[in-house]
Chains A and B, each alone.
Chain A
């Protein structure tokens, strides 16, 4: 079981407005007394994501491969994005394509944060 501090959540999205709200929900639902109780996130928001070819999406995969993420959120991905990332990563991938999935994902992620630290 990963310790809270070892979680790095990757988020990839094309919508700045919605993604910002999503991140804020994660933060507000984390039981944090200080900054250091929150999880790390590596976020890429690109307004042209849906127009990328598979080769172009591979560039994003390569970038995330260097970032050591442990979990990945694909925020309203198209099928190309889903296929590209699912084929490359063996970490938990949360595909958010509706409000219900978003709420479930927030619950899952914040439960990782709010869990008491356990030994690996």
Chain B
């Protein structure tokens, strides 16, 4: 019996590739089931942060829902979306399909909740931070969410948009400076809450246990759901 993963991709394209890599690393090599992975990869989807910060900008939801429709036509068993910022549209996406849709933010917070942590740092796009998708859930578990100060957030923005998305080398000294600042404020762990930062983790081999990778958690949750 075929098991099928549907991926809303292109948000951004390199992050989607890194998500496939993580899936590949975690799939049982001796799997004796038919496994299909369908990726509808639409990087022309308008920028999610731009829309969240300014609702007069093009809305990415139309493109995302078209991808969901294509995945449903492919009869996938589960739909996943390796993009934290687009979780802003979780309700609309979930309502648009009968297929189980895994929420990257929810899975990450669920993971952290088991760790008995009181304070986390969040590295993410301004869109993710402003939308409060992480803070809202973390508040329910009484976990404090620290975010970078303005200048540090500019560094993160530059890493995401000026480096990873443009296939340019990121300034890792600056990256670690920002994460150290969050730790100095009391963050016990730091969420890589942007899939471009998850991509950076793979590219730069960031292996410190201080970082919790939301995209890694999403991949493992996906395989767990399908029991493969």
Contacts and interface: CB of A to CB of B under 8 A. Distances in A.
Q: Is the interface of B mostly helix, strand, loop or mixed?
A: mixed
Given A28-B167, A42-B70, A46-B36, A35 B41 contact: no
Interface residues of B, number: 35
Contacts of A36: 43-47
A91 to B, nearest CB: 17
Given A24-B14, A41-B39, A66-B73, A47 B34 contact: yes
A44 B47 CA distance: 25
B165 interface: yes
A16 B45 CA distance: 24
B39 A38 contact: no
A108 B146 CA distance: 46
Given A46-B34, A67-B70, A34 B39 contact: no
Contacts of A28: 167
Contacts of A34: 47, 161, 165-166
Q: Is the interface of A mostly helix, strand, loop or mixed?
A: mixed
B70 A27 contact: no
A81 to B, nearest CB: 15
Contacts of A43: 9, 37-41
30 contacts: A16-B20, A16-B23, A16-B27, A23-B17, A27-B17, A28-B167, A34-B47, A35-B11, A36-B43, A36-B44, A37-B43, A38-B12, A40-B43, A41-B41, A42-B40, A43-B37, A43-B39, A43-B41, A44-B36, A44-B37, A44-B74, A45-B37, A45-B38, A46-B34, A46-B37, A47-B31, A47-B35, A48-B35, A63-B73, A63-B74
